[in-house]
């Protein structure tokens, strides 16, 4: 049975880099964040309704990634963002969340969450909205609260560059060891 590990956190906390690095380390697949693709194609002037479109794209990518990983006999699948990211994003920007996103949170099953901390320096790109560390820390606490209220194991990932990757590898190895025991 494939184990799904989701990497979440505020923007510019290394989610995409970490997801890719973990997939490479474990020689498996990684589901990329669909929001980046969507916003690059459609622009950053999004609406509340667009967030469900983005959520659907993320879920489709996750389903395809799961199929590919299973077809290639992979033990792990790393997922760069999930519906908790959509929920926090929606509630932060629009003060509400589409019930269909909330329903997907209850339907999807994962084995581990890696919550990326805000200890990385913010890196500007054309899609990022919140360079202020106080806002990023506020968002981090929203994610931490979400993780605390659900039942899947989760760990905060700290560290710069390779240290961050090694910290995440240690957490994943710990999960795998528990499964073997």
Lowest mean pLDDT among 6-20, 96-110, 118-132, 159-173: 118-132
Residue 161: the pLDDT is 87
Predicted confidence (pLDDT) at residue 2 exceeds the cutoff of 80? yes
Q: Which pLDDT belongs to residue 11?
A: 85
CA 66/CA 134 separation, integer angstroms: 36
List of E strands, the chain: 3-8, 29-31, 76-80, 112-116, 154-157
pLDDT tens digits along 114-149? 999 999 877 666 655 666 778 889 999 999 999 999
Residue 169 has pLDDT above 80, yes or no: yes
Convert the pLDDT of each residue in 11-48 to its tens digit. 889 999 999 999 999 999 999 999 989 988 998 888 99
Rounded-to-integer distance, Cα 51 and Cα 172, Å: 30
pTM score, whole prediction: 0.94
Predicted confidence (pLDDT) per residue in 57-77, tens digit:
999 999 999 999 999 999 999
The pLDDT, as a whole number, for residue 135 is: 86
Residue pair 107/122 in contact (Cβ under 8 Å)? The answer is no
Domains present along the chain, CATH in parentheses: 3-180 (3.40.50.300)
- pLDDT, residue 108, reads 94
pLDDT of residue 1: 85
């Amino acid at each position: 049975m494939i184990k799904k590990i989701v990497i979440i956190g505020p923007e510019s906390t290394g989610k995409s880099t970490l997801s890719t690095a973990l997939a490479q380390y474990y020689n498996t697949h990684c589901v990329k964040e669909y929001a980046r693709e969507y916003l690059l194609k459609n622009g950053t002037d999004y609406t509340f309704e667009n967030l469900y479109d983005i959520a659907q794209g993320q879920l489709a990518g996750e389903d395809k990634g799961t199929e590919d990983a299973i077809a290639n006999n992979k033990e792990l699948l790393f997922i760069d963002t999930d519906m908790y990211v959509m929920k926090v994003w929606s509630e932060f920007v629009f003060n509400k969340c589409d019930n269909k996103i909330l329903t997907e949170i209850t339907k999807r099953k994962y084995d581990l969450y890696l919550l990326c901390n805000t200890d990385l320096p913010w890196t500007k790109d054309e899609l990022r909205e919140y360079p202020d560390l106080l806002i990023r820390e506020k968002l981090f606490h929203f994610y931490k609260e979400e993780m605390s209220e659900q039942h899947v194991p989760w760990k905060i990932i700290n560290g710069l560059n390779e240290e961050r990757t090694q910290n995440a590898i240690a957490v994943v190895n710990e999960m795998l060891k528990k499964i073997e025991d």
